[in-house]
């Protein structure tokens, strides 16, 4: 644990207990280390209270400096790893939550088995947020749902269909007479627009009852247990999801409604061995 890593995590958590857990140290040891660092800087970095930590004005400047230094260190490590024959260094990934939950774990299992010297850094979130933060956070690879506007390297990863899922509803037309609620999960605006566009193409009025949940897996489990119907991307469904009807959404022109998932990066990052290895493994899996 470096001084910079410790300060950065404290600034992220603003909570001594949570920071200590992430750093695998005790709270007293972390408090003592922080006091030592503050003495070295000659100023208080964090205000302590029962509610947690808060950055002082001086602390904000110090943390900004610390994060810049961490990014510079990562950049230098990447450049050094590029010079080595073996694939190593840190691979910084940002993936849409759905991909992080249903596609990425199996892929990363193969990746880390093949390249054990690579350290994985991963965040998940909405595609719109990842795209907005991509350059600021210096991610090597982004995995984005929809069709993002991107000037760098862009490669289609997969296309999956949108499917109506329910335990009793067997056709789209049955939605007109059902009293079941439409269970939705929170997602970025492009997903909602696609669902709304399809709905308005087939029905005059919106669903009479809706339930909105935070996570796609919660939405899926509620549909599997007969609480209501849901519209889910096919990537979230497996062969084990039985005793349910899966009805692909179709447009009026008899075209299936689907969503693309894209890999994005900057050309300069694709020359890093750990990034090149990631892209090569993706290509292998497509064959």
Tokens representing 217?
């897996």
Q: Output the pLDDT for position 1.
A: 66
The arrangement of secondary structure in 160-259, i.e. its CATH architecture, is 3-Layer(aba) Sandwich (3.40)
Kindly list the domain boundaries of the chain, sorted by start residue.
Answer: 1-72, 160-259
Q: Output the pLDDT for position 76.
A: 85
The string of pLDDT tens digits covering residues 115-171 is: 999 999 999 998 988 988 887 778 999 999 988 889 889 999 999 999 999 999 999
Report the topology of domain 1-72.
Answer: Arc Repressor Mutant, subunit A (1.10.10)
List the single range of 20-29, 173-182, 188-197 with lowest mean pLDDT.
188-197
Q: Does position 33 have pLDDT exceeding 80, yes or no?
A: yes
The string of pLDDT tens digits covering residues 226-252 is: 999 999 999 999 888 888 999 999 998
Q: Output the pLDDT for position 173.
A: 92
Q: Does position 78 have pLDDT exceeding 80, yes or no?
A: no
Q: Which residues lie closer than 8 Å to 173 by C-beta, 6 or more apart?
A: none
Q: Which residues pair with 23 in a beta bridge?
A: none
Q: Output the pLDDT for position 75.
A: 82
Q: Does position 17 have pLDDT exceeding 90, yes or no?
A: yes
User: Under DSSP, is residue 43 helix (H, G, I), strand (E, B) or coil?
Assistant: coil
pLDDT > 70: what percent of the chain?
Answer: 98
The rounded mean pLDDT for the chain is 91
Strands (E), the chain: 46-49, 52-55, 89-96, 118-125, 141-145, 153-166, 182-185, 210-213, 229-233, 245-248, 258-265
Q: Does position 278 have pLDDT exceeding 80, yes or no?
A: yes
Q: Output the pLDDT for position 225.
A: 94
């Amino acid at each position: 644990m470096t001084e910079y890593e410790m300060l950065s995590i404290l600034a992220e958590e603003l909570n001594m207990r949570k920071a200590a857990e992430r750093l695998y140290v005790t709270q007293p040891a972390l408090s003592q280390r922080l006091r030592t660092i503050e003495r070295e800087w000659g100023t208080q970095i964090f205000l302590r209270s029962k509610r947690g930590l808060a950055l002082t004005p001086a602390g904000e400047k110090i943390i900004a400096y610390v994060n810049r230094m961490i990014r510079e260190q990562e950049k230098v490590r990447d450049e050094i790893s590029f010079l080595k024959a073996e694939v190593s260094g840190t691979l910084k990934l940002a993936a849409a939550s759905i991909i992080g939950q249903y596609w990425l774990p199996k892929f990363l299992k193969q990746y880390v088995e093949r390249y054990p010297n690579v350290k994985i850094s991963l965040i998940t979130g909405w595609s719109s947020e990842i795209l907005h933060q991509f350059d600021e956070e210096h991610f090597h690879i982004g995995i984005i749902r929809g069709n993002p506007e991107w000037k760098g390297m862009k490669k289609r990863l997969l296309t999956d269909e949108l499917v109506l899922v329910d335990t009793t509803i067997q056709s789209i037309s049955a939605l007109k007479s059902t009293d079941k609620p439409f269970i939705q999960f929170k997602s970025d605006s492009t997903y909602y627009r696609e669902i709304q566009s399809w709905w308005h193409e087939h029905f005059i009025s919106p669903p009479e009852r809706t339930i909105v949940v935070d996570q796609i897996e919660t939405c899926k489990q509620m549909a599997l247990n007969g609480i209501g119907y849901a519209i889910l991307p096919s990537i979230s469904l497996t062969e084990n999801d039985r005793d349910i009807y899966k009805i692909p959404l179709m447009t009026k022109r008899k075209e299936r409604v689907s969503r693309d998932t894209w890999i994005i990066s900057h050309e300069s990052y694709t020359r890093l061995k750990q990034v090149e290895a990631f892209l090569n493994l993706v290509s292998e899996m497509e064959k």
